[in-house]
Amino acid sequence: MSCILIQNGLLIDTEWKRRADILIRGSRIVRIAPHIDPQSIPDNVTQVHADGLLVLPGLIDAHTHYNLISRGTVTADGFREGSKAASYGGVTTVIDFADDNKKSLPASLRERADAMGEEMSIDFALHQGVYAMRPSLKEELEEIRNAGCRAVKLFTTYKDVGYYIENQEDLRLVFRYCAQLGLMVCVHCEDDDYIAAAAASYKGSYKPEDHPVLRPAKAEALAIAHMGRLALEEGCQLYIVHLSSREGLEEVRALRDKGLEVVVETTPHYLFLDRSRLTGPDAPLYVMTPPLRDEQDNLALQEALCNGEIQVVATDHCSFTRAQKLESSDVRTIYPGIPGSEEMLPLIHHLVANGAHLTLNEMVNVLSTGPAKYFGLYPEKGALREGSDADIVIFNPDYAWTLSHENLHSECGYTPYEGVPVIGKAVMTYLRGRLIMGSGLYLGIPGDGRFIKADGRHSSL
């Protein structure tokens, strides 16, 4: 079997960093040591010189919507295109979502996993959406757990597209079942009643700049309080997806004071972009839910990330082409979502490089090890360890560049970070010991990506 020897890089894991060599045989890391003599290896060895470079565990983008079919259209990045953009950004695993077909969760999960398995060139796990109560729900949940799904996804809004379980007793039962079965509950938190009330008193013309008025931070805070109460009462593990506001963060703090253990995710756009983007002809390009907030919200979330109050950064990558986004300038009909998998690592590394109180180890934790642990993928994923999958990013921490749609690879044709200067770039990405991106070339193979069960095993369902 052939081997790859990555020599003399600075290895960054969550707990430690050290200059060492790393030997890959087949799909796994087999040895980490200060100096591994290539002559001592009986097999064919490819030597990779990583002097001056960082060696990171492959990133896990724990929140993506590739090939999302919704609102009568489909996202620009399908599974192939999303995988490619992700590979350029050092992402080797994504956690995507299976919609609830409202008949059978196992069938919903299988259908999504099969479709992804045919086209993804990086690995993937799945969260299962639960959008409706039915008598068989507990058995369905048990079945998807046994099939390798660790978490369900709920919405407290999007009544219009049928995602919201409105009946409170039904919602409580979902939490109870998940607690009993050891499933994490991931929630998109925006209080639907509060949003409806904001719309009822609204007199404007639904321009993008009014999106934060129509979906205020207060709605996020109220939903977090509500979900937190249910999780506390039912003893359920809670994960807040895409936290966007300081007000929401305050609610997280209040819940933690009451003893709730909650995992909080935010995204690069809530850390670095604010509502000033929501004016002018390109404003629709910046529409997603929850909406962009104020600069103070960005700063509060950055501080919370550095303090360890936010455990995961993921992207909510949900890309539509410029043309799709600009079809409407009415926030009720603009397709919500933006790209981000490729931009995530340079943006977060830029924080580290610019003296924010975030270390390289913490960066690896929020982008890789943390999500691997929360979602049952560790230590196959999220670790530089002997025995782990050889999902590895070789990263140049000194490379200064400017994010632009011209040097990024999403099929959407734009980046919300156009013109943003960053430091640091993935130069090589390995998936299970195979180079999938190197020196600007993409070498991923559609269909090579595997479904990763929540116990870390690779599988097709």
Can you give the binding site for ligand URP, defined by CB under 6 A?
65, 188, 288-289, 316, 318, 336-337
Q: Which residues inside 255-314 make contact with Zn ion, applying CB under 5 A?
A: none
Residue nearest to ligand URP (CB): 336
Give the range of 114-122, 185-193, 255-263, 412-420 binding Zn ion by CB under 5 A: 185-193
* DSSP class per residue in 342-402: TTHHHHHHHHHHTT-S--HHHHHIIIIIHHHHHTT-TTTSS---TTSB--EEEEEEEEEEE
- And the tokens for 364? 């690896």
Q: Which is nearer to ligand URP, 188 or 246 (CB)?
A: 188
What does 82 bind: Zn ion, ligand URP, none (CB cut-off 5 to 8 Å by kind)?
none
What does 57 bind: Zn ion, ligand URP, none (CB cut-off 5 to 8 Å by kind)?
none
Q: Which is nearer to Zn ion, 320 or 430 (CB)?
A: 320
* Under rule CB under 5 A, residue 153 binds Zn ion: no
**Count, residues near Zn ion per rule CB under 5 A:** 2
Q: Return d(Cα 81, Cα 72) in angstroms, integer.
A: 20
* DSSP class per residue in 58-118: PEEE--B-TT-EETTEE-S--HHHHHHHHHHTTEEEEEEEEPP-SS-HHHHHHHHHHHHHH
The binder of Zn ion chosen from 77, 247, 316, 362 (CB under 5 A)? 316
Residue nearest to Zn ion (CB): 188
Q: Which is nearer to Zn ion, 22 or 217 (CB)?
A: 217
- Block residue for tokens 């030597």: 47
Whether the CB-CB separation of 93 and 123 falls below 8 Å is answered with yes
Q: Return d(Cα 175, Cα 178) in angstroms, integer.
A: 5
What does 336 bind: ligand URP, Zn ion, none (CB cut-off 5 to 8 Å by kind)?
ligand URP
Q: Which is nearer to ligand URP, 150 or 215 (CB)?
A: 215
Q: Which is nearer to ligand URP, 102 or 138 (CB)?
A: 102
Find how far residue 79's CA is from the centre of its chain. Answer: 15
What does 288 bind: Zn ion, ligand URP, none (CB cut-off 5 to 8 Å by kind)?
ligand URP
Q: Return d(Cα 58, Cα 23) in angstroms, integer.
A: 15
Q: Return d(Cα 205, Cα 89) in angstroms, integer.
A: 38
Q: Which is nearer to Zn ion, 11 or 338 (CB)?
A: 338
Where does this chain bind Zn ion (CB under 5 A)?
188, 316
